[in-house]
A and B are shown apart, each in its own frame.
Chain A
Amino acid sequence: MRRLIILAITLLLALLPALNLAGLGVSDFVITVVGKWLCYAILALSIDLAWGYAGILSLGHGAFFALGGYAMGMHLMRLIGPRGVYGHPVLPDFMVFLGYQELPWFWWGFQSFPFAMLMALLIPGALAFLVGYLAFRSRITGVYLSILTQALTYALMLAFFRNDMGLGGNNGFTDFKELLGIALNTPLARALLFWSSLAALGGCLWLGTSIARSKLGRVLVGVRDAEARLRFLGYDTLQHKLFVFVLSAMMAGIAGALYVPQVGIINPSEFSPGNSLEAVVWVAFGGRGTLLGAVLGAFTVNGLKTWLTSVAPDLWLFVLGAVFVAVTLLLPRGLIGLLEKRR
């Protein structure tokens, strides 16, 4: 039954861009917005994998998301080539008017799509490995880890805001032209990106579910509920935690990479701690430790936000805040808990 519903929803979603391409009542706005939510859903899923199963609450997952986005953004910037305002063959516009003479070394290779995609996975993964290894080895857990990851994304935000980083500073990257030879402002590009996001979400969901059902998944739940006991039983919890944390960061990186061409901008405010916190709220809202709940939460909260910022521009923060309060107090298992209780 449950599987059928998921399948139906997925098919329905997959149909949206087709309807849009055929001009059958689905506007471009719907495609871009739902496409964005799909990326958010992947981010929520990645957080739930680490938090819901291994008890690692990262308040800095937005950093992995943003790093993935930056990798994609750098690729898109390189693709602009001489079509920039200043017509420079190599340098992006912001470098030209800030007086750069040559491309900084860390931009090398990003003109290649496979390389950029690899980086969108590897950079978040490597950072997660470094942070995770240092933290888990010293047995930093619970709220300490949360605060540490929050500081991490905050520090990255400050660093990326600097124009001297060579990554566009506050303005970040915008005005992308094309990806894989397809102009980004066409319905076809939007449809393809939408389908890619949907496929990525499906893939991550499948991967997450398989992990949750495997022996690894059960060990992770053990880590979450009684890490010390598991350690006494001889499990190397460090390895398990590290694995799931790095995997989760890479998922967030994919989400970011898919997000950037759809919204058309990446800038350091994606690193802001508030963004990461919000993503955690999606998970809590939908239901922690269920994966599907995370997806559901991301869709509901963002749908609510899109709607409220138009309907009640002055009051939406109230409504959203109240919803968070109500959910944590009244629905400890989130929306999905509510749905399952009904049944």
Chain B
Amino acid sequence: MIARLLAVLLFCALAASARAQTSFEELVPRLGGGFGPAAEAAQALGTQGDPRALPILRALSEGRLLRNAEGRVILDGRDAATGEAIAAEGATRINLNNRLRVVLRGAIGRLALSSPNAAERRAAADAVFRTRSAENVPLLEDALSREAIPEIRALMELALGASRLLVDDVTVQRAGIIVLSGAGTAEARSLLLEARAAKPELAVDIDAGIATIDRRLAIRRGFETAFQGISLGSVLLLAALGLAITFGVMGVINMAHGEMVMIGAYTTFMVQEALRHTAWAAWSLPLSVPAAFLVTAAVGVVLERFLIRHLYGRPLETLLLTFGIGMMLQQGVRLIFGAQNREVLSPAWMQGTLMLPGGLPVTQNRLWIILFGLAVLALTMAAIRFTRFGLEMRAVVQNRRIAATMGIRTGWVDAMTFAFGSGLAGLAGVALSQIDNVSPNLGTGYIIDSFMVVVFGGVGSLVGTLVGALTLGIVNKLLEPYAGAVLAKVAVLVGIMLFIQRRPKGLFALKGRAAE
């Protein structure tokens, strides 16, 4: 081990001394010569600044660079070093490791700083920030003098500040500290701490900078906790909405609710597979929304008409019945699709993090799920409030006999209501396919939480479901850093049990005169 380390060190020293003399044509073949030499070569190419290196390094980082048996490096059918045409047969892909990736990111960043493409310059500025070195200072100063777009300028200034920290000159370093302190990010804080360890004489300036950053970070942490709580709440809301209809309105204890959610997620998977090689592939997720609703609603109608309707007024029996149905649905899906997880892709607009003004980060998939949850809730409320079906549903719930005498087909309304609740569960499945496993067990993890949300919020009240879900989500996230994920959840459950004991009808109780 030590011998190998020494060999690497020796090689690094040699490479460093040789760097000035080594030509482009000599460096490029080394990219295929193993992780260590490749990293050295990439570093040298980045420092030399030869623009021909940029496409080669990019190809390497994207895994498109090949190497043949003679050790020649091939890009798009040409020898990358000399440009002559060469057969790619028998050539293998050049592999990367993390060390090489770090070097490549820096080298590509340096080379792309002067790119005419704004997006490339933005990525380059970020890359140079992450792989700062004192040598980057003149390069960044030059790039800054020509940059017009304010956003990219800010990134470049940040990168310049980070690089200045490494220059052996106290005034330059102070300038760097000021820029980094202003950035207020965790990365900047990390860099300052690193510099503090190396330069004790700058400790006072750095400590002041870190204090500034910490204030910003505290705000950010508060925001993140709130966002994560709302996000968890929105997931609970979606999972519970269907139950709020089937259980809250109809009084059916649907233990197969989780399986409806699971079927919704599998529908998403099916839609994606059906559209995979068509022009509609990018739209598979939005198209899954109606598809999942219809499929689960259809399953719901079948269950209601053939099974559940025979047990109205006997809630505990429906519980057992739906438990049995749930078992069968789960095993059915397991036999058809296999026990393994299924991959549901996230569209590009649901990946990554969105930066709100003030450096507040928001993960995109969570944001969409929050919006989706609220939209589904709003539509559900509107459907119940403003449509004929909603009117009939409320009539049947309030007084089945009078509704029947008024000409409402109560059986049909029951079936539709159950289908509606099941469809909502299917929508939850679409959302969950974006954050959780699509497996036959998907629903089991949410069923108890869903019941808790509905009971806590108040059975029969959609507003209660919303408030209940958000409260549980936020409280859970507030407790989590102190108690850990498990205890936080246990504490929330115990809290709900105690709350229900105080207010058996939940947060938003329906008022009535019935004596219990």
Report A-chain residues with C-beta under 8 Å of the C-beta of B255: 277
- Tell me whether A273 and B448 are in contact in the complex, defined as CB-CB below 8 angstroms, given that A134-B501, A146-B316, A158-B489 are known contacts: yes
Q: How far in angstroms is the closest Cβ of chain B from A324?
A: 3
Give the contact stretch, choosing among B55-63, B189-197, B318-326, B463-471.
B318-326
Question: Taking CB as reference atom, which chain B residue is nearest A324?
Answer: B324
Q: How far in angstroms is the closest Cβ of chain A from B498?
A: 8
Report A-chain residues with C-beta under 8 Å of the C-beta of B378: none
The proximity string for B residues 307-321 relative to A, scoring 1 for CB distances below 8 Å and 0 otherwise, is 100110001110111
Report A-chain residues with C-beta under 8 Å of the C-beta of B217: none
Tell me whether B500 and A162 are in contact (CB under 8 A).
no
The proximity string for A residues 315-333 relative to B, scoring 1 for CB distances below 8 Å and 0 otherwise, is 1011011111100110010
Tell me whether A161 and B486 are in contact (CB under 8 A).
yes
Report A-chain residues with C-beta under 8 Å of the C-beta of B321: 324-325, 328-329
Expressed in whole angstroms, the Cα–Cα distance for A137 and B501 within the complex equals 8
Give the contact stretch, choosing among A110-118, A149-157, A182-190.
A149-157
Q: Is A82 an interface residue (CB 8 A)?
A: no
Q: Is B516 an interface residue (CB 8 A)?
A: yes
Expressed in whole angstroms, the Cα–Cα distance for A158 and B448 within the complex equals 13
- Tell me whether A284 and B320 are in contact in the complex, defined as CB-CB below 8 angstroms, given that A150-B448, A154-B448 are known contacts: yes
Question: Taking CB as reference atom, which chain B residue is nearest A273?
Answer: B448
Expressed in whole angstroms, the Cα–Cα distance for A215 and B497 within the complex equals 33
Tell me whether A228 and B316 are in contact (CB under 8 A).
no
Tell me whether B325 and A151 are in contact (CB under 8 A).
no
Q: How far in angstroms is the closest Cβ of chain B from A273?
A: 6
Expressed in whole angstroms, the Cα–Cα distance for A284 and B316 within the complex equals 10
Q: How far in angstroms is the closest Cβ of chain B from A235?
A: 16
Report A-chain residues with C-beta under 8 Å of the C-beta of B487: 159, 162
Q: Is A314 an interface residue (CB 8 A)?
A: yes
Report A-chain residues with C-beta under 8 Å of the C-beta of B515: 228
Q: Is B504 an interface residue (CB 8 A)?
A: yes
Tell me whether A317 and B327 are in contact (CB under 8 A).
yes
Expressed in whole angstroms, the Cα–Cα distance for A322 and B321 within the complex equals 9
Expressed in whole angstroms, the Cα–Cα distance for A47 and B315 within the complex equals 17
Contact partner, A139, options B323, B335, B516, Cβ 8 Å? B516
Q: How far in angstroms is the closest Cβ of chain B from A142?
A: 7
Q: Is B118 an interface residue (CB 8 A)?
A: no
Tell me whether A320 and B327 are in contact (CB under 8 A).
yes
Tell me whether A148 and B323 are in contact (CB under 8 A).
no
Tell me whether A143 and B253 are in contact (CB under 8 A).
yes
Interface size bracket, B side:
35 or more
Tell me whether B486 and A57 are in contact (CB under 8 A).
no
Q: Is B139 an interface residue (CB 8 A)?
A: no
Q: Is A207 an interface residue (CB 8 A)?
A: no
Contact partner, B311, options A140, A317, A328, Cβ 8 Å? A328
Q: Is B367 an interface residue (CB 8 A)?
A: no
Most buried by A among B323, B448, B493: B323
Most buried by A among B321, B327, B330, B451: B327
Q: Is B494 an interface residue (CB 8 A)?
A: yes
Report B-chain residues with C-beta under 8 Å of the C-beta of A281: 320, 323-324
**A residues 254-291 with Cβ under 8 Å of B?**
273-274, 277, 280-281, 284
Q: Is B85 an interface residue (CB 8 A)?
A: no
Expressed in whole angstroms, the Cα–Cα distance for A191 and B321 within the complex equals 37
Q: Is A144 an interface residue (CB 8 A)?
A: yes
Q: Is B328 an interface residue (CB 8 A)?
A: yes
Tell me whether A151 and B448 are in contact (CB under 8 A).
yes
Report B-chain residues with C-beta under 8 Å of the C-beta of A324: 320-321, 323-324, 327
Q: Is A138 an interface residue (CB 8 A)?
A: yes
Contact partner, A147, options B331, B332, B455, B489, Cβ 8 Å? B455
Q: Is B490 an interface residue (CB 8 A)?
A: yes
Q: Is B4 an interface residue (CB 8 A)?
A: no
**B residues 93-136 with Cβ under 8 Å of A?**
none
- Tell me whether A144 and B330 are in contact in the complex, defined as CB-CB below 8 angstroms, given that A154-B493, A324-B320 are known contacts: no
Tell me whether B501 and A138 are in contact (CB under 8 A).
yes
**B residues 286-340 with Cβ under 8 Å of A?**
307, 310-311, 315-317, 319-321, 323-328, 330-332, 335
Q: Is A200 an interface residue (CB 8 A)?
A: no
Q: How far in angstroms is the closest Cβ of chain B from A149?
A: 9
Expressed in whole angstroms, the Cα–Cα distance for A4 and B331 within the complex equals 42
- Tell me whether A144 and B455 are in contact in the complex, defined as CB-CB below 8 angstroms, given that A134-B501, A328-B311 are known contacts: yes
- Tell me whether A329 and B253 are in contact in the complex, defined as CB-CB below 8 angstroms, given that A154-B448, A324-B327 are known contacts: no
Question: Taking CB as reference atom, which chain B residue is nearest A281?
Answer: B320
Most buried by A among B320, B325, B328, B489: B320
Q: Is A230 an interface residue (CB 8 A)?
A: no
Q: Is B513 an interface residue (CB 8 A)?
A: no
Contact partner, B486, options A131, A147, A159, Cβ 8 Å? A159
- Tell me whether A321 and B327 are in contact in the complex, defined as CB-CB below 8 angstroms, given that A150-B451, A280-B320 are known contacts: yes
Tell me whether A332 and B317 are in contact (CB under 8 A).
yes
Expressed in whole angstroms, the Cα–Cα distance for A318 and B331 within the complex equals 7
Q: Is B152 an interface residue (CB 8 A)?
A: no
Q: How far in angstroms is the closest Cβ of chain B from A139?
A: 6
**B residues 371-429 with Cβ under 8 Å of A?**
none
Q: Is B88 an interface residue (CB 8 A)?
A: no
Q: Is B156 an interface residue (CB 8 A)?
A: no
Question: Taking CB as reference atom, which chain A residue is nearest B447?
Answer: A273
Q: Is A135 an interface residue (CB 8 A)?
A: yes
Q: Is B452 an interface residue (CB 8 A)?
A: yes
Expressed in whole angstroms, the Cα–Cα distance for A139 and B503 within the complex equals 10
Q: Is B496 an interface residue (CB 8 A)?
A: yes
Contact partner, A158, options B251, B323, B455, B490, Cβ 8 Å? B490
Tell me whether B316 and A151 are in contact (CB under 8 A).
no
Q: How far in angstroms is the closest Cβ of chain B from A125?
A: 19
Expressed in whole angstroms, the Cα–Cα distance for A154 and B451 within the complex equals 12
Q: How far in angstroms is the closest Cβ of chain B from A301?
A: 11
Q: Is B502 an interface residue (CB 8 A)?
A: yes
- Tell me whether A321 and B328 are in contact in the complex, defined as CB-CB below 8 angstroms, given that A143-B316, A162-B486 are known contacts: yes
Contact partner, B504, options A140, A162, A228, A321, Cβ 8 Å? A140
- Tell me whether A329 and B310 are in contact in the complex, defined as CB-CB below 8 angstroms, given that A140-B500, A146-B316 are known contacts: yes
Tell me whether A158 and B497 are in contact (CB under 8 A).
no
Contact partner, A146, options B319, B326, B516, Cβ 8 Å? B319
Question: Taking CB as reference atom, which chain B residue is nearest A278?
Answer: B323
Report B-chain residues with C-beta under 8 Å of the C-beta of A315: 331
Expressed in whole angstroms, the Cα–Cα distance for A141 and B514 within the complex equals 15
Expressed in whole angstroms, the Cα–Cα distance for A126 and B487 within the complex equals 22
- Tell me whether A322 and B328 are in contact in the complex, defined as CB-CB below 8 angstroms, given that A162-B487, A328-B317, A329-B310 are known contacts: yes
Contact partner, B500, options A148, A155, A322, Cβ 8 Å? A148
Tell me whether B315 and A325 are in contact (CB under 8 A).
no
Expressed in whole angstroms, the Cα–Cα distance for A155 and B487 within the complex equals 9
Expressed in whole angstroms, the Cα–Cα distance for A155 and B317 within the complex equals 25
Q: How far in angstroms is the closest Cβ of chain B from A299?
A: 18
Tell me whether A155 and B452 are in contact (CB under 8 A).
no
Tell me whether A57 and B494 are in contact (CB under 8 A).
no
Tell me whether A152 and B489 are in contact (CB under 8 A).
no
Q: How far in angstroms is the closest Cβ of chain B from A290?
A: 16
The 12 listed contacts between A and B (C-beta, < 8 Å) are A135-B501, A138-B500, A138-B504, A144-B455, A155-B489, A159-B490, A228-B515, A280-B320, A281-B323, A318-B332, A321-B328, A323-B324
B interface residues, Cβ below 8 angstroms from A: 251, 253, 255, 307, 310-311, 315-317, 319-321, 323-328, 330-332, 335, 444, 448, 451-452, 455, 486-487, 489-490, 493-494, 496-498, 500-502, 504, 515-516
Taking A151-B451, A328-B321 as known contacts, 19 extra A-B pairs with beta carbons closer than 8 A to each other, sorted by chain A number, are A134-B498, A140-B504, A141-B516, A143-B316, A144-B500, A147-B452, A148-B500, A151-B448, A151-B497, A155-B494, A281-B320, A281-B324, A314-B335, A317-B327, A317-B328, A322-B328, A324-B323, A324-B327, A329-B310
Smallest CB-CB A-B distances: 5 pairs: A324-B324, A321-B327, A321-B328, A317-B331, A155-B493
